[in-house]
Amino acid sequence: MDQGLVEIVRSSFLSHFGKKPTLIWSPGRINIIGEHTDYNQGFVMPAAIDRGIVMAISQAQNGRGQWIATDVKDSYSPDSSPSPTPKSSGWKPYLLGILSELRKKGIQPGPVDVVFSGNIPPGAGLSSSAALENAFVFGLNEIYKLGLSPMEMVHISHAAEQDYVGVRCGIMDPYASMFGHAGKAIFLDCRSLVSEMIPVHLEDCQWILLDTGVQHSLADSAYNQRREVCEAIAARLEVSSLREIDLKQLDKIRSELPEADYQKACFVLEENGRVLKAREALKKFDLLKLGELMYESHEGLSKLYEVSCEELDFLVDLARESDGVLGARMMGGGFGGCSLNLVDVNKAHAFLNNARKRYRERFNLDMNDYSVSITSGCRLVT
């Protein structure tokens, strides 16, 4: 957690509202492996990171309160009209979505004053939205003593994103942001929601994100389309999700399916298998194996699931041919955002210099990179 960020938010709150707030840290996430498996009730292995959102919150004395988003220099009063509608853009729907989900549960917290700021690079696919939703529900729960469990808060954030913001995402992002543990990956079974914390011994390695700086417009429609393909195949096999079948069962209906759809389902089954192998690799401190699995995951996401893009493929290919990069893959929904790289610390400098240069030569774009470490999830800042 960035102490400087905490101080900025704390003092901004104090100068706006003249009182001391409750402070919450809510992190973004990386996903080590297990992509596009969460909404198929499969396995994922994310981790909370040291980039996130700091939110200052307190019960409002006047009217409905005021919410201030420091980074975009914007503010909002929940009693002002018109209120941002569901599915509109910007930061407000994330907060309004939380209130809307709480209302559905018959919970009506009182008004709040809020100031928040973050250090998650925008558009990088590190789940700033889940971090913001979690921060708000966590803060409301704290100051109004709503009695919600962390798991209930995860469901509320997930529902806010799906129903109010209008993104049909899975549960991985709010789960990772809420339940993260320092130095541990979260092996999560998205069907049972049972998780296991796996220590990540990086030895001489580090996690580096390479940011393509692009987000292709296809991202949302393609995500929903992939979901529909998976759901349709599950329905045809009369099961609730692809988690319930194996390759043999899928092969029985292969001839009835468009080949591209068959391949997408294959990817999901294989990716689940890779998450299980990655869990074993971590337990055996076998980072070479983990890296191999990451490269395989990318190959499947690119060729079978078709959610990569030229920029991501370029960066992963570059990683594969670079000295000291044990594994790399695209991360999140796809079509832009970051690649996640497992890199030998002694080789990181040379790798990054080369990647920046080659990316600029190829796409005429500056590539940002971030070194991240695994931290604990949502919590009060004392």
Site for ligand GLA contains 36 (CB under 6 A): yes
Instruction: Among 21, 27, 33, 35, indicate the residue that binds ligand GLA (CB under 6 A).
Output: 35
Residue 173 catalytic?
Answer: yes
Helix axes 172-179, 128-143, angle to 10 degrees: 50
Q: Say how far apart CA 119 and CA 365 lie, in whole Å.
A: 22
Site for ligand GLA contains 38 (CB under 6 A): yes
Site for ligand GLA contains 169 (CB under 6 A): yes
Q: Which is nearer to ligand GLA, 35 or 296 (CB)?
A: 35
Active-site choice (38, 50, 113, 173)? 173
Tokens of 377: 């999830």
Site for ligand GLA contains 332 (CB under 6 A): yes
Ordered DSSP codes for 7-30: HHHHHHHHHHHSSPPEEEEEEEEE
To ligand GLA, the closest distance from the beta carbon of 271 in angstroms equals 9
Q: Which stretch binds ligand GLA (CB under 6 A): 32-40, 141-149, 198-206, 340-348?
A: 32-40
Site for ligand GLA contains 333 (CB under 6 A): yes
Q: Which is nearer to ligand GLA, 9 or 49 (CB)?
A: 49
Burial 245-272 (b: 16+ CB within 10 A, else e): beeeebeeeeeebeeebbbbbbbbbbbb
Instruction: Among 32, 47, 172, 186, indicate the residue that binds ligand GLA (CB under 6 A).
Output: 172
Q: Say how far apart CA 45 and CA 49 lie, in whole Å.
A: 13
Which residues 6+ apart lie within 8 Å of 376 measured at CB? Answer: 27, 48, 180, 181, 182
Q: Which is nearer to ligand GLA, 102 or 169 (CB)?
A: 169
**Site of tokens 């018109």:** 82
DSSP 45: E
Q: Which is nearer to ligand GLA, 25 or 43 (CB)?
A: 43
List, by residue number, the catalytic residues: 173
Q: What residues line the site for ligand GLA (CB under 6 A)?
A: 35-36, 38-39, 169-170, 172-173, 332-333
